[in-house]
Structure 1
Amino acid sequence: MRVLVCDDEQLARDRLVRLVDTMEGVEVVAEAANGREAVQAARRMQPDVVLMDIRMPDMDGMEAAACLARSEQPPALIFCTAYDEHALDAFRVRALDYLLKPVSRDDLSAALARARTLTRAQRAAVANELPQAQASQRRQHISARTHRGLELVPVEDVRYFLADQKYITVRHSGGEVLIDETLKDLEAEFGDLFVRVHRNALVALNYIEGMEQAPAGHHQLRLRGLEDTLVVSRRHVAGLRKVMLRL
């Protein structure tokens, strides 16, 4: 069984690695110092289990768990943390177990034994039951499945969300990705960072440069760093003007 260990403290990672090394049929295939590194390492190494801390910089364990659950073959998640107040949130993201530090060998062995009984297909079936808003707090990253695997886009880099039938195009500083979410859910989660300019578009407030009237008569929005513009629907023009006055 392949294990990935994620903790922002080197000593904590070293201890978990030593415990795993004493167990037969289990090996540590990668280590990570935060949730972002864990997601990237999981994409490369395809571990069966991730031992995950919760409070970490850049991306915490809960957000990383939500991202990993979107993988085509999600690993089993076992949280290893010094804080017991996150237990309910951990099981909301379908964690297999929740171990308090200092993690004992017996507890870890029992948790890994339970993980061994789950097939990847079973873990994928559980992940598919997760709601769209998997993390207990607002995400800092948007996760998308691409031909390169699971990609993470920082929310602060997103220029706009554009709905097109079933999928949402996420335009960001490095290009664009497609996600299977709804504008309604994105607006509910990021409503203070983005503004609705059309029934199919949410735009990042930080990147709005100006609004102008096009020769065809409709209004369009210019965004900093982008050559393309977005159409502003009539019903949103007045509200957008008010928002821009506050920027």
Structure 2
Amino acid sequence: MRVLIVDDEPLARERLKRMVDELSDYQVVATAENGIDAVEQVDSIRPEVVLMDIRMPEMDGLQAAAKLVEQKHPPAVIFCTAYDEYAVEAFDVQALGYLMKPVNKDALAHALARATRLNKAQLSALGKRSKDQESDPARSHISARTHRGLELIPIEDIYFFRADQKYVTVHHEHGEVLIDETLKDLEQELEDRFYRIHRNCLVSVNHLEAMERSGQGQHKVKIRGLEESLDVSRRHVSGLRKLMQSL
């Protein structure tokens, strides 16, 4: 996989290049010093992944990424920055990763592996989703602080949210993470995409597969892509049944 590194600091570029070179299946094909240079390099060398700083002169990383997602076949953009306040803006330009400097090698490998799993059609769809955001103001990702830094989890990859005391666990296609948000706020924001099946659980409407009843009479819902079945509280059975009949 071809990688372009974009950072206005030479030492930062060299450090990232060394880490990428130590990983198999990835090749740094070029480096750039700012967003303008990055956009020009992408036009000419067509990398699959761009590792990009945010604060840079002339054109910053967010501005460059906004131009890249407009391309017919945009590269996957992974931000590598010393600042965490740009995570919301990163959602808007469909970043696939948000790594905090100094970048950890394991975090970098994880982000690159996720980019590798996306095919060209999926990457092209990133640009379309970015254009559609004016009509759909809801965020496209959930942010979570993990040992890898600040991770961005696409809403469409999430199976369900489960509350446990003051934290909520996000169960998604590639694992699970804790977030410091309330289930109530998530339900209000994502009401068209997630449905409450229990006082402590919201499930993705797009991943609903079936509702069944256990031998003990407990209703459970099957989630597409998961072996685990989730409990449905009695008060939510009727509403969930109507929802699934309408899908």
When the two structures are superposed, what TM-score results if normalisation uses the length of structure 2? 0.53
User: Which residue of 1 is the match for residue 245 of structure 2?
Assistant: 245
Checking the alignment, whether the CA contact within 8 Å between 2:211 and 2:222 is kept in structure 1 is yes
Q: Residue 237 of structure 1: SS of its match in structure 2?
A: helix
Q: 1:1-247, aligned counterparts within 5 Å?
A: 10=39, 33-34=65-66, 40-41=78-79, 44-46=80-82, 59-60=91-92, 137-247=137-247
- Residue 162 of structure 1, CA deviation: 0.6
Q: Residue 226 of structure 1: SS of its match in structure 2?
A: coil
Larger Rg: 1
Unmatched runs of 5 consecutive residues or more in structure 2: 1-7, 10-32, 43-55, 70-74, 103-135
* 1: CA distance, partners of 2:164 / 2:189: 20
Checking the alignment, whether the CA contact within 8 Å between 1:6 and 1:38 is kept in structure 2 is no
1:69-114 Cα offsets, whole Å, 9 max, x none, are: xx799xxxxxxxxxxxxxxxxxxxxxxxxxxxxxxxxxxxxxxxxx
* C-alpha spacing 1:45/1:218, structure 2 compared with 1 (3 Å): same
* 2: CA distance, partners of 1:239 / 1:214: 19
- Residue 218 of structure 1, CA deviation: 1.1
Name the % identity. Answer: 48
* 2: CA distance, partners of 1:48 / 1:231: 36
- Residue 38 of structure 1, CA deviation: 10
1:176-231 Cα offsets, whole Å, 9 max, x none, are: 11101011111111101111100111111111111111122211111111001110
1:19-49 Cα offsets, whole Å, 9 max, x none, are: x769xxxxx89995249999832xx342699
* C-alpha spacing 1:150/1:5, structure 2 compared with 1 (3 Å): farther
- Residue 158 of structure 1, CA deviation: 0.6
* 2: CA distance, partners of 1:48 / 1:246: 41
Q: Residue 145 of structure 2: SS of its match in structure 1?
A: strand
How many equivalent pairs are there? Answer: 164
User: Which residue of 2 is the match for residue 117 of structure 1?
Assistant: none
* C-alpha spacing 1:59/1:222, structure 2 compared with 1 (3 Å): same
Unmatched runs of 5 consecutive residues or more in structure 1: 14-19, 23-27, 74-135
- Residue 59 of structure 1, CA deviation: 4.0
* 2: CA distance, partners of 1:48 / 1:170: 20
Q: Residue 40 of structure 1: SS of its match in structure 2?
A: strand
* C-alpha spacing 1:46/1:218, structure 2 compared with 1 (3 Å): same
